[in-house]
Amino acid sequence: MNNNLKSNIITLPGLIFQGMGQLSPLFTFDGIISVAAFAEGASPLAFLIGLIASLLTGNTLYQFSKRTASARGYYGYSKYGLGNHAGVITSYLYLLYQIANLVFIMSFFIMIFNPALLYLTGINVPFYYGILLIIVIAIPSFFMIYRGIVPSFKSQITINIIEIIFVVSVSVIIILTSKDNSLIVFTPVSGYKNLFLGFITGSFLAYTGYGSIVPLGEEAKAPEKNISLSIIIMLLIIGALDLLISYALVVGFGINKMGSFTNTVIPAFIVIKTHIDVYFSMFFFAFNFFIIYTLFNTIGTAITRNIYSMARDGYLPDKFSKTNKYDAPQNALLLTIIIFIITTAVSSIIFYSSFGVSGFLYQFIFFATISTMSTLIIHLIVNSSLSKVHKSLLYDIVIPIISSIVILIAMYYAVIDLAFPFVYAGIIMVLYIAMAVIIDLYMAKVSKETKAVNA
């Protein structure tokens, strides 16, 4: 084992499609839209706001990526402008964000497995069949991370091209066969609170995966150029796809029926079956589980690079900075899997024992909320960091301030009159940040004592 990543091996297309593994439009089609639907008939507007907010936050990553590129990712940007303390806090927040992503993806597919299968085929199976299927698909996903970045992004290119063709075709058919087409979906028809609740729990979350390529800074070709360019390209592609998807599902389900959209658990399957046929919906069902591979692969790749860098910088034990013969952070991958399994097992037991199979819905919303809240806080920190080391008044100060204002407005609407399970997600966020601060203070104290001894 050594402690170096293989440099100069990921091209611009590789970065784009590797990042799009987490931005999966297919998962938005039946996963993210389920929580973005809190905005009800205004779900497409929530996605439009999410795109605008993502372009604003994307500007910060764009500006930073032209100045520095490493496996540190977001926390490298925080550290660049605000110092080591901000770097430590951001690094731990990024871990929380991506682990939450893995868990809410898993809980969603467990949640829909039996209802979707029963709806489409009439076959009723225990919910744990879905767990077994996810495990079977997750194994090759994590194995590909172990094999290094090259086979990962090559597989992502093929799968994501097929996925894009599929969701565009389905969305266009739904729109053309719908009698409920209207631009009213781009107005706050359900009120601003619901609109921003849909934004905070769903639509912004649908775009946040573009940052997953930032930790690939040491492995990308011409990273200062290609990472910044791929961020913009990904956001524009996914923005167009998500607007198309959200519009198709809202008008396909029925604008006036959106109040019951999330109650069905499997609204996307219903819309596809209604507007196309049951066989196409069955293919959609099978393809959904195949997409677990791309989601887990992109998220897992980003986490392992974050852990690898944290260990290299002394935020975690040094053994997690070791790489294998494929130049992949093997120990960081093992730690990722362990944290994921423990978090999944503990939370699943709590939610299932309290609410039965419906607990997976609450688990999904709970971790989706944690994911969005943590990434919003990360972006607030990174925005501040860019302003601290500004070179341009417009791009380094004005746009980051506008981005932070949008984020704060969204967070305000998300926390007022909190209900279950959002309130518990907020509590966990507070406790986790407190833990990160304690860890940071402890490391600072140890560092100071070490310097004093050496002096």
Let me know: does 98 contact 299? Beta carbons within 8 Å. yes
Asked which of 113-122, 194-203, 298-307 is least confident by mean pLDDT, the reply is 194-203
| pLDDT > 90? residue 241 | yes
Q: Which residues pair with 220 in a beta bridge?
A: 10
| Span 262-277, pLDDT tens digits | 667 688 888 999 999 9
How many other CB atoms are found less than 10 A from the CB of residue 177?
Answer: 12
User: What are the structure tokens assigned to 150, written together?
Assistant: 């090259």
- pLDDT-derived band at 139, boundaries 50, 70, 90: very high
The pTM assigned to this predicted structure is 0.91
- pLDDT-derived band at 296, boundaries 50, 70, 90: very high
Higher pLDDT, 422 or 21: 21
Mean pLDDT of the region 61-77:
93
Higher pLDDT, 1 or 366: 366
pLDDT given for residue 93 in this prediction? 97
| Span 215-235, pLDDT tens digits | 999 999 999 999 999 999 999
Rounded distance, CA 136 to CA 139, Å? 6
Mean pLDDT of the region 142-161:
92
Mean pLDDT of the region 57-70:
93
Residue 201 CA, distance from chain mean position: 11
Asked which of 117-126, 188-197, 287-296, 315-324 is least confident by mean pLDDT, the reply is 188-197
pLDDT given for residue 379 in this prediction? 94
| pLDDT > 60? residue 417 | no
Rounded distance, CA 19 to CA 14, Å? 8
Mean pLDDT across the chain = 89
CATH T-level topology, domain 12-454: Amino acid/polyamine transporter I (1.20.1740)
pLDDT given for residue 455 in this prediction? 62
| Span 341-382, pLDDT tens digits | 999 999 999 999 999 888 998 898 889 889 888 988 999 999
Taking the domains of the chain in order of start, what are their residue ranges?
12-454
Mean pLDDT of the region 416-445:
84
| Span 80-123, pLDDT tens digits | 999 999 999 999 999 999 999 999 999 989 988 998 899 889 99
Rounded distance, CA 67 to CA 74, Å? 13
User: What are the structure tokens assigned to 325, written together?
Assistant: 């013969």
Mean pLDDT of the region 129-135:
90
Q: For residue 343, which of 142, 96, 146, 109 has the smallest C-alpha distance?
A: 96
pLDDT given for residue 34 in this prediction? 74
CA atoms within 13 A on the CB side of 452: 6
